Amino acid sequence: MNTLPTDLTTLAEAVIKRAASFGFTIATAESCTGGLISSCLTSVPGASETFQCGFVTYSNEAKTRLLGVPVDAITDFGAVSDIVASAMAEGAVAHSGADLAVSVTGIAGPGGGSTDKPVGLVYLSLAQTGEDAVIKRYVFAGNRDDVRRSAVGAALELMHSGLEERRQSAEEENGS
Amino acid sequence: MNTLPTDLTTLAEAVIKRAASFGFTIATAESCTGGLISSCLTSVPGASETFQCGFVTYSNEAKTRLLGVPVDAITDFGAVSDIVASAMAEGAVAHSGADLAVSVTGIAGPGGGSTDKPVGLVYLSLAQTGEDAVIKRYVFAGNRDDVRRSAVGAALELMHSGLEERRQSAEEENGS
């Protein structure tokens, strides 16, 4: 049996292949998924050509220290918020030198949920040099493991589509 | 089916429980395991009380940029070496503020092996504030997935025993 689920490693392989074929480098910034996205990406042989690094910023202090997420953003909007998700992704690009980074912050449970922010709430963000960050909001069903797994799948999908969009933008710029 | 193997998450749970009971904070610095150790640690509900952050420093540049591993150490001894492993673990403690950190650098394969440094060669290191880093050398059998999985298990074991030793040292200091 493989250490990681094959549906996720297959998706990760598609991301690595696309990044490599376009010549883009990538990075990750993970809170609730705790390194699962980078684990999937690095399960692919040759990932080192494109995957630079991952930041597993689990504590709020780590989000600020490693990624430069403003303390005020965490205090005012909470660690699980669109603002913090985009600051994490932008911080990952800035602190890694990669072309593109995905971030995840969410409430995997079983504790930590509230009426406004239920267990399963996850924000993803995709940031890249020279572009505004994209933010996605989800509420995933299931237990802690289900939420984390769903978030990893969605993050890899976001990275996969983001890479194609970046290539198209680059082509348009070169063609104009 | 769980996202991560239960033998590893059970071990991770023992690490988190021990760290919490002793009041120690922990961090990780991973190269070839790519975030699998932090994924296992954060699979445990309540991990945020003890797990601060993880550095997935896959590229050599990331090892230097994020963890302060000297460029000369990588050039002279290679990214997979005892020197780099201990510099990664020490860098993780210094850059996270955690009490204790484990690092992994190795050759998971299928490429990258040589006679001196075969596929399966893995160095682990455990660093903590106020102590010299401990270094362990392994040559794990099997394919890329097997090597990564074995390295995660060994790293969690090292962290588990290191936490107990740290507690004993602290008790002796307090008792003297």
pLDDT at position B171, please?
85
Average pLDDT value for residue range B44-62 = 96
Query: In whole numbers, what is the pLDDT of chain A averaged over residues?
Result: 96
Mutation to test the A interface, candidates B56, B65, B74, B156, most A Cβ within 10 Å: B56
Characterize the bridge pairing of strands B100-106 and B121-128: antiparallel
Q: Looking at the domain assignment, is residue B87 inside a domain? A: yes
B143 or A172: whose pLDDT is higher?
B143
Least trusted range by pLDDT, from A161-175, B25-39, B110-124: A161-175
- Taking the whole predicted model, whether its pTM rises above 0.95 is answered as yes
Query: In whole numbers, what is the pLDDT of chain B averaged over residues?
Result: 96
Q: Looking at the domain assignment, is residue A169 inside a domain? A: no
Model confidence at B176: pLDDT above 70:
no
Q: Kindly report the CATH number assigned to the domain that includes residue B101.
A: 3.90.950.20
Domain, as residue range, for A130: 6-157
Q: Looking at the domain assignment, is residue A1 inside a domain? A: no
Quick one: pLDDT band at residue A69, thresholds 50, 70, 90? Answer: very high
pLDDT at position A176, please?
58
pLDDT at position B175, please?
78
Q: Looking at the domain assignment, is residue B175 inside a domain? A: no
Mutation to test the A interface, candidates B48, B144, B147, most A Cβ within 10 Å: B48
Model confidence at B70: pLDDT above 90:
yes
Q: Looking at the domain assignment, is residue A174 inside a domain? A: no
Q: Looking at the domain assignment, is residue B67 inside a domain? A: yes
- Determine how many CB atoms are found less than 10 A away from the CB of residue B86: 23
> B61: which chain A residues are within 8 Å (Cβ-Cβ)?
52, 97
The single residue listed with the structure tokens 């949920």 is: A113
Tokens of B145: 């997935």
> A54: which chain B residues are within 8 Å (Cβ-Cβ)?
34-35, 54-56, 58
Q: Looking at the domain assignment, is residue B150 inside a domain? A: yes
Number of domains in chain A: 1
**Could you tell me which chain B residue has the CA closest to the CA of A152?**
B3
pLDDT at position A87, please?
98
- Residue closest to A56 by CA, chosen among A89, A33, A25: A33
- Cross-chain Cβ contact B66/A95 below 8 Å: yes
The single residue listed with the structure tokens 């299928």 is: B110
Average pLDDT value for residue range B10-28 = 97
Q: Looking at the domain assignment, is residue B39 inside a domain? A: yes
- Residue closest to B123 by CA, chosen among B143, B141, B102: B102
Instruction: Using CB atoms, pick whichever of A56, A145, A148 lies closest to residue B56.
Output: A56
